[in-house]
Each structure stands twice: as C-alpha cells, then as structure tokens.
Amino acid sequence: MQEQKKKILILSYFFPPCNLTASQRTQSWAKYLSGFGLYPIIVTRRWDHKIHTYKEMALATPNIPEHIRSDNYEIYYTPYKPNLRDKLYTKEKYPILRRLLSLKELILQNIFIKSSPIHILYNQAQEIIKNQNIDFIAASGNPYIQFKYAARLSREYNILWFADYRDAWTTSSIDNIGRSSLFNIIYRYDQLFEKKWIKSAQFITASSYPIAQSITKLTGTKGYSIHNGFEQNDFNNYSNLSKYNNFTITYIGTLYQGQKIEVFIDSVILFIKENPTAKIKVLFPGLAFLDAQKNRIQNLISGYEQFFEISDRVDREKILEIEMRSHVLLHVAWKDHQGIIASKIYEYLGSGTHILVTPSDHGEIDKIIQESNGGTLTNTVDETYNFLLSAYKEYEKTGFFGTKDTSRPELMQFTREEQAKKLAMLIHENLS
C-alpha cells in the first residue's frame, strides 16, 4: 500500500521522544496522515535527554543518525552537535558572550545554511529527496529557520511545500511584550526573510485562524487553521481514577507575563476569606520551570501558601492523571490578543474535566469552549468568585463537579485525527 500513497517530507525539529508539548503536533501527523493517503517522512534531531530545563536541549547527542521505518511513516533522527553558544550555556559561563553568539546566529542563519546548529536537518532532507520520490515538503516551526530549508529544497528539486506555524513568528502580538528595542530590530530583520520564504510556499497552516490570517496578510500566501487537537485515547488508563478529596483547581504548564493570572488568584483568595473552612487546593504543576513566573505567583499568594502548590516540570503521564483527578482545569487566555491558543486547552477538553477560562480572550478560546460546551468563561473577580462558589457547593453536595462525556459529537471536531484529516485534504487538493 505504501507505494500508492503520496510521500510528504516533514521537517520538524521537535518530535518524540522529545517530551516538550511542541513535539506532539507533528507526531499526530505521523500517526494519522497515512490513513488519508499520505506517507509521512519525518526529519528531526535526536532527543537523548529528557528536557527539564533549556540546558538539556543544548547537550550533544551521539554522533550517529537513526532511521526508524514503519508501515505508516518513517523518522530520521539526526545527531545534534552543540555550537560554542550551547557549550557555554550548559556550563552557565560568560553570559554576555553567549548573548553575542546568539545574536550572531540569529543574523547569519538567515543567510548561511551552516550558521545554525540544526542545519543537519537540511542535509538529511536533501539525501532523502535524492533517493525517494517526494511529492510534498512541509516544515513545522519553530525553529522558523526550517522554513528556509523547505523553501530552498522546494526550489532546488521543484517540489511543492507548505509552512506550518505552531505559533506566529514576526506577526506575533505577544512576543515583544517587555522586550528590548534590539529584539524589535531583530524581528523586523527576520520579517524580511519570513516574507521571502513564505511567498514561495503553496499555502501555510497555523494553530489558529487569526495567526493564519496575520501571515497571509504579511506574505500573500493562503492560510488555513489546523488546530493542535487532542488524542481521544490519552485518558483511557486514567478514566477510573477518583477525584481528589479537596476541591482541586489545576493550571498546567508555564505562565507568561501577558497572562493576567491576577483575576483568578484574587478570586480564590476572596473565596478563602469568605469560606474559611473550604477544602480547596490550587495546583501549578510545571510552573517552577520559569523562575520569574514562580516568583510572581508566590508574591500573589503571600499569606495563603497552604492553599497552593507549585512544582517543577512533571512527566506527561502524571499530568494526565492530575487533569483527570482535578475538579476544574484553569486556562488563562491572552485577553485582547487574538489566536493565542495553548495546546493544553485541547488536552483539557479530552479529559472531560470542567474548564474555567479567566480572563477570556473574546476570540478563539471563547469559541472553542462554547462550541465544545467544555466549560465556563469569566472576566472579573466577581464573576470568577461566583463560579467558584457555585462549583464548590456542587462538590460539597456530590463530591463531583462538571465531569463531561468526551465522546459527544461537538467535541470530536477537536481530535488530532480530525485535524490530520483536514490537513490531508489540503495537501491532496494542492497536488491535484
């Protein structure tokens, strides 16, 4: 059957066994695209170290490529050889020199292929194209330098390609928050190359429609939204777990300065003051990954620490368990910033646990929650307090709160398989 399928070469720096969320998008393509007439060939880097901090990403891997073949896809794992900047970073030495080396790499990688330590992905892709009949090329960013590789391969071998954006690049409305003027100069510099490379793409895909629109506006290339989605079977092993004894609200992952967590924290503290005997716990697994945000939360909860728990990065299996056992899963949207959809919102949906979004974004997040009937949207301390009060009363009465059937039709549109189907249709349309 393999010979009858169209071969799609996918450049994806992040891919399992990398334990970062960024690897899950293209992993789902490898898993599902073969069911829709495509044969994915993934080119990625080796991931021999579990990622707990950014340092592990900069470590060297064995200098031996790996090739894994199955009936439905192939994966080429290329070695990672750290450059001088990486070596200094892992030793926590010479911070000023590290910044200068990073700046040099950012400037030169857009011009010279070998200026980036991941250029071996391009070399490996070339070898594959020389030895196999590739029908389409894809690059999933970030790193966005992969778009350069795909555009160049497309030009050299006359193969159509598309760019996939997990997040916006130079059209991002949030990346420059709190950044220096030098950062903005580099962004404008990068934008010249984003326009150049993406104009040669057949189309672009993005994790949300507003991001796709912003890139189309910049480059003129047609854009489509392909949601990250959730895996239907992820929670099969956890479906019989009981809820925590305390009424538990969980926020998964990292937090950024532009996310107004203060609305939620103030609401919880108000709830505790008004209901001093309430058995309530707020969990932040993974938040300690970024010291600045850990310190931010610690300052906000001063005097109420016993009701909150902040931890380092947690294995995904444990995260799935926490999501199932919690009574409410918290999402803090980027208020007034359109199209910023953290992939965890889909995993929240897949768990069936009630989702609280506060504040909402008045955009894509709101639409997802409303279309899926997945939870509650609030925007003020009073609204959030009233939700907590109502939810806690139900918990006191029944021991449960708001668990939803995950097989309902309105939820199925957000599965990773359904999103892979949409992508496959796009590819076939452009090949016909």
What's the CATH number for 236-412?
A: 3.40.50.2000
Domain limits, CATH 3.40.50.2000, in the chain: 2-229+416-431, 236-412
- Burial grade of 120 (CB within 10 A; 0-12, 13-18, 19 or more): middle
Question: For position 3, what pLDDT does the model report?
Answer: 55
- Half-sphere exposure of 412 toward its Cβ, with a 13 Å CA cutoff? 4
Q: Which CATH architecture has domain 2-229+416-431?
A: 3-Layer(aba) Sandwich (3.40)
Q: Which residue has the tokens 């208020």?
A: 335
Q: 143-173 burial, b for 16+ CB within 10 Å, e for fewer? A: bbbbbbbbbbbbeeeebbbbbbbbbbbbbbb
Question: For position 370, what pLDDT does the model report?
Answer: 93
Question: For position 177, what pLDDT does the model report?
Answer: 63
Question: For position 176, what pLDDT does the model report?
Answer: 63
Q: How many CB atoms within 10 Å of residue 63?
A: 9
Q: How many CB atoms within 10 Å of residue 88?
A: 17
Question: For position 368, what pLDDT does the model report?
Answer: 93
Give kind and range of the element (H or E) at residue 376.
strand 375-377
Please calculate the CA angle 76-82-86 and round it to the nearest 5 degrees: 135
For the segment 314-350, what is each residue's pLDDT rounded down to a tens digit?
Answer: 888 899 999 999 999 999 988 777 778 888 899 999 9
Low-confidence ranges of the chain (pLDDT < 70): 1-3, 175-179
